[in-house]
Amino acid sequence: MDILLRNRKKRQQAQSEKGRLSAFLQQMQKSRYQKGLMRHFEWPLVIMVLVMSLWGVVTIFAATASPVEEGVAVSFFERMRGQSIYYPRLQLIWIVVGMGVLAGTVFFDYRLFGEVKDVFYWGNVILLLLVKFTTEVGRGSANMFFQWGSGRTFQPAEFGKIAIIIALAKVFAERDHPIETVSELFRMSCYVGLPLMLIVIQPDVGTALVYVAIYAVMIFASGTNYKLIVGVICIAVILLVPAWYVLTFSDNFRVDRIQVWLDPNYAINDAGMQTYNARLALGSGGLWGKGLFAVGNFAALNYIPDDHTDFIFAIVCETFGFVGGGLMIALFLAMMIRMLILSRQAEDAFGSYLIIGVLAMLFFHIFENISMVIGLMPVTGIPLPFVSYGGSSYLTNIIGVGLVVNVTMRSRAGVARQPRPTIHPKKLIRE
């Protein structure tokens, strides 16, 4: 009798799982791209991203160029023919792939991504565990990359930013009231803390800070009790003291980075060489810049390690001058303002939180990268969105932009129109 009951229960469970899968497939079918949505496509944001991406290719070309001999009379095009196009060509390929990824991101209704938030969240956790415990230690004694092809790498923590944005956006959107107690804040922090700790132990502090920034902005936007926020900030400041004490007695290059930040002239021939030379390159560009392939360029002379990735803003200023650097910052600022406006126009809380999460991710990247180049923040391995070389980073940012475009298209078309839930982003989005 017990065996019959167990078999019946198994059959019922199997039918239930099959029913859920069938319902999900039907939902996917309904959530596909609908005719007429292109009329509501968010062209201004995508055009700004494309302009920044192509500008990045030119800057990568300048950063990886060979030195130009002084006194040799050759034309600009002859100099171009003698330069390597390895990294610019790869970045162009990533841009083309990114446009396809963006199209794929906007194809399905963004609400479908919220329905499978657990898949994104736990998939991210599993990948972070695998990359930590199944890969060889690389640069900086870190396990951050899967290796593939001939020297190619894949960084799961980058794509995990999108996973945590989707998961948090869905969790906040489903709440019927803001976070008001310590226990609620603790549970939410544990939800974010699991993937965050897996990134910290890689160790990849830069990416971990991005996760913290995303969480902090979304907590603030959700209308969380300000007393809780102030309390958390005070605790974080207090913990900085023992953290600094531990770091100073450890053989850790992060201590050198902090000391370089506090003293710009600290170890300029060793730990401080990268930031010192970056500032020299930044200032040497003057008002209009030296231009491509100029004699004595810091980029071509390899004075700045990682000048085509983390420190590419120094090359932007050296090549295009103060005007070019200011124009790039203005374009980034226009992108951020545009996203903030679009978050106000979203027709449901989930869409608003998605845009806010992407905005937080990109803003922190931009602020930290430019600030560390000019000496306002300590150095972290955070690239400049759409400009720095790198496939994982570029595709992550493009997926984020795709989510923003997805929400905007369907909100404008009325596909996502539904009554707003009780809780809605209140700090950045006003009713």
429 or 13: whose pLDDT is higher? 13
Report yes or no on 75 lying in a domain. no
* Percentage of the chain exceeding pLDDT 70: 78
Q: What is the pLDDT of residue 390?
A: 86
231-234: long-range contacts (C-beta < 8 A, 24 or more apart)?
232/185
| CA neighbor of 38 nearest in space, from 111, 106, 118 | 106
User: Do the domain assignments include residue 289?
Assistant: yes
Question: Lowest mean pLDDT: which of 20-24, 103-107, 363-367?
Answer: 20-24
pLDDT in tens, 252-293: 677 777 878 887 777 777 777 888 888 888 888 889 888 877
Residue 203: is the preceding peptide bond cis (ω within 30°)? yes
pLDDT tens-place string over residues 338-377:
999 999 988 889 999 999 999 999 999 999 999 999 888 8
- The pLDDT tens digits for 159-198 are 999 999 999 999 999 888 888 888 888 899 899 989 999 8
Per the listing, tokens 């982003």 go with 425
pLDDT bin (cut points 50, 70, 90) of residue 337 is: very high
Residue 340 inside a domain? The answer is yes
Q: How many CB atoms lie within 10 A of CB 222?
A: 25
Whether residue 234 has pLDDT greater than 90: no
User: Does the pLDDT value for residue 13 go beyond 70?
Assistant: no
Write the pLDDT tens digit of every residue in 143-153. 777 777 666 77
Predicted pLDDT of residue 422: 43
In a domain, 165, yes or no: yes
- Name the residue type at position 74: V
Residue the block writes with tokens 């930590």: 132
Tokens matching residue 7 = 């078999």
The domain in which residue 203 lies consists of: 52-66+86-413
Say if CB 79 and CB 41 are below 8 A apart. Answer: no
- Would 81 be classed as within a structural domain? no
In a domain, 43, yes or no: no
Cα separation, 135 vs 142, whole angstroms: 10
pLDDT band at 238 (very low <50, low <70, confident <90, very high): confident
- The closest of 74, 146, 112, 139 to 392, measured between CA atoms, is 146
Q: 27 lies in a domain?
A: no
Tell me the backbone φ, ψ of residue 148, rounded to 5 degrees: -150, 150
Establish how many alpha carbons lie within 13 A of residue 100's alpha carbon, considering only the half-sphere containing its beta carbon. 5
What is the C-alpha separation between 73 and 78, in angstroms, rounded?
Answer: 10
Locate all alpha helices (DSSP H) within 249-348, ordered by sequence: 253-262, 273-284, 312-345
pLDDT at 40 (0 to 100) = 84
Q: Region 401-409: what's the mean pLDDT?
A: 94
Is 197 inside a domain boundary? yes
Q: At what angle do helices 156-174 and 349-374 cross, to 10 degrees?
A: 140
Average pLDDT score over residue span 70-86: 68
User: For the chain, what is the domain count?
Assistant: 1
pLDDT at position 419, please? 47
Stretch 16-45: mean pLDDT:
67
Structural contact between residues 87 and 122, judged by C-beta atoms closer than 8 angstroms: no
Q: Among 109-113, 355-359, 404-408, which is the least confidently predicted range? A: 109-113
List the one residue out of 304, 296, 285, 283 whose CA is nearest residue 379.
304
Distance of CA 67 to the CA centre of its chain: 32
Higher pLDDT, 105 or 202: 105
Convert the pLDDT of each residue in 288-329 to its tens digit: 888 877 766 777 677 788 788 888 999 999 889 999 999 999
Global confidence as pTM: 0.86
DSSP 66: P
CA distances (Å), 204 to each of 236, 237, 254, 323, in order?
19, 21, 11, 33
Spatial neighbors of 25 by CB under 8 A, at least 6 apart, are none
